[in-house]
Amino acid sequence: MSVLSAKNITIQFGGLTAVDQFNLNLERHELVGLIGPNGAGKTTIFNMLTGVYVPTKGEITLNGESIIKKSTHEIVKLGASRTFQNIRLFKDLTAIENVKIAYHNFIDYNLIQGMFRTKKFWTEEKKAQDKCMKLLDIFNMGGYANTLAKNLPYGQQRRLEIARALASEPKVLMLDEPAAGMNPNETAELMETIHFIREKFDITILLIEHDMKLVMGICERIVVVDYGKTIAEGTPDKIKNNPEVIRAYLGD
Amino acid sequence: MNLFLQQVINGLNIGSIYALIAIGYTMVYGIIKLINFAHGEIMMFGAYFAFIAATSFQMPVWAILLLVMTIMAVAGVAIEFVAYRPLRNAPRLSALITAIGVSLFLQNLALIIFKPEPKIMPKLFPEMNFNIGGIDISSTTLITIGVSLVFMVLLDLYIRKTKQGRAMRAVSEDKDAAILMGVNVNRTVSLTFALGSALGALGGILYSVAYIQIYPTMGVMPGLKAFIAAVLGGIGIVPGAMLGGFIIGMVETLTKAYLSTTWADAIVFAILIIVLLFKPTGILGKNTREKV
Amino acid sequence: MDKNKRRTYIINAIAITALYLAFFILIQTKTMNKYLIGIAILTCIMIIMAMSLNIVAGFLGEMALGHAGFMAIGAYSSASFSIALFNTGVGLPDLVVLILAMIVGGTVAGIFGILIGTPTLRLRGDYLGIVTIGFSEIIRIFFVNFQPTGGAAGLTGITRLVNFNNAYWITIVIAILIFTFGRSKHGRAIISIREDEIASESAGVPTTRFKVLAFSLAAFFGGMGGALYAHYLAFLEPSKFNFMFSIEMFVIVVLGGLGSLTGSIISAIVLTVLPEMLRGFAQYRLLVYSLVLIIMMIFRPQGIFGRTEFSLTGAIDLLILRKNTKNSVDGGEA
Res B169: pLDDT: 85
The set of chains that have 3 or more CB pairs under 8 A with A is B, C
Quote the percentage of chain B above a pLDDT of 70.
98
**A124 chain-C contacts, CB cut-off 8 A:** 185
Res B288: pLDDT: 59
Are the C-beta atoms of residues B105 and C287 closer than 8 Å to each other? yes
What is the C-alpha to C-alpha distance for residues A222 and A232, in angstroms, rounded to an integer? 8
Judged against a pLDDT cut of 80, whether residue C329 lies above it is answered with no
Average pLDDT of span C21-31:
84
* B117, B276, B281, B288: best to mutate for the C interface, most C CBs within 10 A: B276
Judged against a pLDDT cut of 70, whether residue C332 lies above it is answered with no
What is the C-alpha to C-alpha distance for residues B200 and B19, in angstroms, rounded to an integer? 9
* Interface list for chain A against chain C, based on CB atoms closer than 8 Å: 50, 52, 71-74, 76-77, 81-82, 84, 88-93, 97, 100-102, 104-105, 107, 109, 111, 114-117, 121-122, 124-125, 128, 164-165, 167-168
**B292 chain-A contacts, CB cut-off 8 A:** 43, 47, 52-53
Q: Inform me whether the C-beta atom of residue C199 falls under 8 Å from chain B C-beta atoms.
A: no
Q: Inform me whether the C-beta atom of residue C247 falls under 8 Å from chain B C-beta atoms.
A: yes
Query: Domain ranges in chain A?
Result: 1-79+170-252, 92-165
The set of chains that have 3 or more CB pairs under 8 A with C is A, B
Average pLDDT of span C200-205:
94
Return all residues near B18 (Cβ < 8 A) that are at least 6 apart: B203, B222, B225, B226, B229, B244, B245, B246, B248, B249
Res C99: pLDDT: 95
pLDDT tens for B274-287 read 888 888 888 888 76
Q: Does the predicted TM-score (pTM) go above 0.90?
A: no
How far apart are the CA of B101 and the nearest CA of chain C, in angstroms?
A: 5
How far apart are the CA of A239 and the nearest CA of chain C, in angstroms?
A: 31
Judged against a pLDDT cut of 70, whether residue B50 lies above it is answered with yes
Res C323: pLDDT: 62
Q: Taking chain C, what is the end-to-end CA distance rounded to the nearest angstrom? A: 40
Res A207: pLDDT: 93
Res A251: pLDDT: 63
Q: Inform me whether the C-beta atom of residue B35 falls under 8 Å from chain C C-beta atoms.
A: yes
Cβ <8 Å between A128 and C203: no
pLDDT tens for B84-119 read 999 888 888 888 889 988 998 999 999 999 998 999
Q: Which amino acid is at B143?
A: I
Cβ <8 Å between A13 and B289: yes
B128-132, C216-220, C268-272: least confidently modelled range? B128-132
Are the C-beta atoms of residues A239 and A217 closer than 8 Å to each other? no
Average pLDDT of span A121-125:
93
Res B291: pLDDT: 47
Res C334: pLDDT: 38
Stretch 230-289 of chain B: residues touching chain A, C-beta under 8 Å: 289
pLDDT tens for B153-192 read 888 888 888 888 888 888 888 888 888 888 888 999 999 9
A54-63, B34-43, C2-11, C174-183: least confidently modelled range? C2-11
How many residues make up chain C in this entry? 334
Average pLDDT of span C214-235:
96
How far apart are the CA of A118 and the nearest CA of chain C, in angstroms?
A: 11
Return all residues near C212 (Cβ < 8 A) that are at least 6 apart: C113, C114, C117, C118, C121
Cβ <8 Å between B292 and C142: no
Between helices B185-211 and B220-233, what is the axis angle to 10°?
120
CA distances from A206 to A169, A194, C115, C169 (A): 15, 11, 41, 55
Judged against a pLDDT cut of 90, whether residue C236 lies above it is answered with yes
A56-70, A129-143, B256-270, C44-58: least confidently modelled range? B256-270
pLDDT category of residue C324 using cuts at 50, 70 and 90: low
How far apart are the CA of C196 and the nearest CA of chain B, in angstroms?
A: 11
How far apart are the CA of A200 and the nearest CA of chain C, in angstroms?
A: 20
Helix (H) or strand (E) holding C144: helix C125-145
Comparing alpha-carbon positions, the chain B residue that sits nearest to A52 is B292
Class of domain A1-79+170-252: alpha beta
**Residue with more model confidence, A25 or B291:** A25
What is the C-alpha to C-alpha distance for residues C61 and C124, in angstroms, rounded to an integer? 10
DSSP code, position C59: I
**C192 chain-A contacts, CB cut-off 8 A:** 90, 93, 101
Res C328: pLDDT: 41
Quote the percentage of chain C above a pLDDT of 90.
56
Res B160: pLDDT: 86
Cβ <8 Å between C181 and A71: no
Judged against a pLDDT cut of 70, whether residue B292 lies above it is answered with no
Res C331: pLDDT: 40
Res B290: pLDDT: 47
Return all residues near C218 (Cβ < 8 A) that are at least 6 apart: C52, C53, C54, C55, C56, C64, C67, C70, C113
* C118, C132, C138: best to mutate for the B interface, most B CBs within 10 A: C138
**B277 chain-C contacts, CB cut-off 8 A:** 119-120, 122-123, 131
Comparing alpha-carbon positions, the chain A residue that sits nearest to C206 is A73
Res C239: pLDDT: 92
φ, ψ of residue B36 in degrees (nearest 5):
-80, 85
Judged against a pLDDT cut of 60, whether residue C307 lies above it is answered with yes
Comparing alpha-carbon positions, the chain B residue that sits nearest to C302 is B94
CB half-sphere exposure, B223, CA atoms < 13 A: 24
Res B278: pLDDT: 86
Torsion over CA of B90, B96, B102 and B105, rounded to 10 degrees?
Answer: -120
Average model confidence (pLDDT) for chain A? 90
3-state secondary structure chain A: CEEEEEEEEEEEECCEEEEEEEEEEEECCCEEEEECCCCCCHHHHHHHHCCCCCCCEEEEEECCEECCCCCHHHHHHHCEEECCCCCCCCCCCEHHHHHHHHCHHHCCCCHHHHHHCCHHHHHHHHHHHHHHHHHHHHCCCHHHCCCEHHHCCHHHHHHHHHHHHHHCCCCEEEEECCCCCCCHHHHHHHHHHHHHHHHHHCCEEEEECCCHHHHHHHCCEEEEEECCEEEEEECHHHHHCCHHHHHHHHCC
**B93 chain-C contacts, CB cut-off 8 A:** 63, 258, 301
**Residue with more model confidence, B72 or B163:** B72
Q: Inform me whether the C-beta atom of residue B111 falls under 8 Å from chain C C-beta atoms.
A: yes
Strands of A31-35's sheet, edge to edge? A80-82, A172-176, A204-208, A31-35, A221-226, A229-234
pLDDT category of residue B141 using cuts at 50, 70 and 90: confident
Cβ <8 Å between A43 and B289: no
pLDDT tens for C276-288 read 777 766 667 778 7
Comparing alpha-carbon positions, the chain C residue that sits nearest to A164 is C203
Res A127: pLDDT: 94
Secondary structure (3-state) at C257? coil
How far apart are the CA of A126 and the nearest CA of chain B, in angstroms?
A: 34
Average model confidence (pLDDT) for chain B? 88
Judged against a pLDDT cut of 90, whether residue B60 lies above it is answered with no
